[in-house]
Chain A
Amino acid sequence: MSNSIDQVFVHAKQWLLSSLTGSPGWVVQVASILINIFMLLAVFLTLFALISVLERKILARMQNRYGPNRVGPFGLFQPIADGIKMLIKEDIVPARADKIVHFLAPVHIAAVAILTLGVIPYGRNMTPFTIDGGILFFFAVGSATELAVFMAGWGSNNKFSMLGAMRAIAQMFSYELPLIITALPVVMVVGSLTPDRIVAAQAGYTFDLVPRWFVFTPWGAAAFVLFFVSGLVESNRTPFDVPEGESEIVAGHMTEYSGFKYATFFMAEYIGMFAVSGLATTLFLGGWHAPARILEIIPSYVWFFVKLGSLLFVYIWVRGTLPRTRIDQMMNFAWKFMLPMAFTCVIAAAVWHYAGRGLRGWLWSFLVIAIVYTALSTLLDTRRKFAPRVYRFAE
């Protein structure tokens, strides 16, 4: 019974395709791909609408106010109203802008964001596109985002846009390195770049109790935290939203965009957030596996989206809590702390593997992480105290 609910979407797709029997092979192939793409878009655009209103609600709760509560029950139809507003807004293109590049930038950024969603396994037998090097595909396609941001900044022909684009590219490049290197230990331990294999490697329970997710190993926990922080930067979310910095450069590379093009940028940002969270779930949180044996009756895709949802909640929580960092703080943090720690995770994973993947490996890799972490924090401690603030402008 639970198995049929678990596979309900897979069976539905097979049933749809079975009506095509007798037609040539490529028709079935194309139809299968189109069904996957359609489902992916339907699910994630709905999730985007839902998250955009939930984020406002949660932020409002954190700041002790109501948030959107006028459209529909509890303000749940707010995204529909927003969508209609965005669609009928006037589309303004600056007279001196590079029209083609200005138009192509939002298209590019949305396409790239949606492409990265394709390789993540959403449930048992539910990977939209199975590629041998799926993890590599994710990072390869994701690295094209920087070009889209540059196109937006350049095409707008505006100094705020260009500054925002430069900042975005600088921070994305710096944090792409820890993002990729923290994914490496998982790939090393599993011995495969295929997301399905990585999820399969995290099945089962130690002592019949603790699931074998990589986040429960010392190297996995450290890598997960680093991956999450890098993901925050990659999606330009709040503690690291220097590229958008509303108070200084308006909206960064999106300054000159209005109406639906702005909405597309907004959507791409959120979908990028979903993709990075989805990959973090796949790599460290056991993908679609249930956290306990009794809970396996609940379908696999439910577990995936529960984990994705909790990660997204942390994203919103962080946004409601932390102030914006300065660009030099971010860069120092990336190169002096994140990168050495990411390499330490790789070494700790190797130590874990060669000490037998058991309790002994656990302790040894914990030791490696602890030593490097302590050494780095004492080394990087500037012992700077807060001095009384001096105001120079009023002298």
Chain B
Amino acid sequence: MNSAALIIIAVFTLAAALAAATLRKLMHAALSLVVVFVGIAALFFLLGAEFVGLALVFIYVGAVAVLVVFTILLTPRDVGKDRGFNWGGAIVAVAVFGGLTWSILNTQSLAVVAPHMPALTVKQIGKTLMTIYVWPLQCVGLLLTAALIGALILVMEEKR
């Protein structure tokens, strides 16, 4: 059942990714990207990593997607202008794909059978975050707060 689900999710995600890359209208491409996020979250669910899947839905579908969509809304549209094939993008994409494939094929861990791991609960993740990784967590929090305040200052009305 799991392998069938894997194939369905993989085909679904890849089709959505292809649509996101090729669709003519920018808004449709952005919405296809959201489908890709959901597909990846489903893959994480299939692997038993519930928390990662939920966080992906939460952050990417709930926040990043709306951000992308708003960016499209607020920037001028130039539909109709055909800039031709994007060679630079293609080269970068092929390079990234090649590099990833090469590194995946060269890893040792693929050769061995994965040991049976007990399902990771949200509680364990929380405990780890709050004990071992508490300093990185605090630093990220501080950074995000600074970014938030910075954004607020940028858009604040100037009082005369």
Residues on A lying within 8 angstroms of B by beta carbon are 25-26, 29, 98, 100-101, 104, 131-133, 136-137, 139-141, 143-144, 146-147, 150-151, 154, 169, 173, 191-193
Contacts and interface: CB of A to CB of B under 8 A. Distances in A.
Given A139-B58, A143-B63, A169-B66, A133 B51 contact: yes
A191 B61 contact: no
Interface stretch (B26-34, B97-105, B131-139): B26-34
B58 A140 contact: yes
Given A143-B61, A146-B66, A147-B66, A192 B123 contact: yes
B66 A140 contact: no
A151 B31 contact: yes
B121 interface: yes
A185 B34 CA distance: 31
Nearest to A176: B62
Contact of B122 (A133, A139, A151): A133
A154 B62 contact: no
A150 B70 CA distance: 9
A100 to B, nearest CB: 7
B73 interface: yes
A359 B51 CA distance: 36
A147 B27 CA distance: 12
A104 B34 CA distance: 13
A154 B54 contact: no
19 contacts: A25-B1, A100-B28, A101-B27, A101-B28, A132-B121, A132-B122, A133-B122, A136-B58, A139-B58, A140-B54, A140-B61, A141-B57, A143-B58, A144-B62, A147-B66, A150-B66, A150-B69, A151-B31, A173-B66
B interface: dominant SS: helix
Contacts, number: 63
B65 interface: yes
Given A101-B28, A154-B27, A154-B73, A133 B58 contact: no
Residue among B54, B55, B63 facing the most chain A CB atoms (10 A cut-off): B54
A132 B66 CA distance: 27
A288 B73 CA distance: 45
A98 B27 CA distance: 10
Contacts of B54: 133, 136-137, 140
B62 A146 contact: yes
A56 to B, nearest CB: 33
Contact of A101 (B31, B51, B123): B31
A186 to B, nearest CB: 15
Given A150-B66, A151-B31, A154-B73, A29 B1 contact: yes
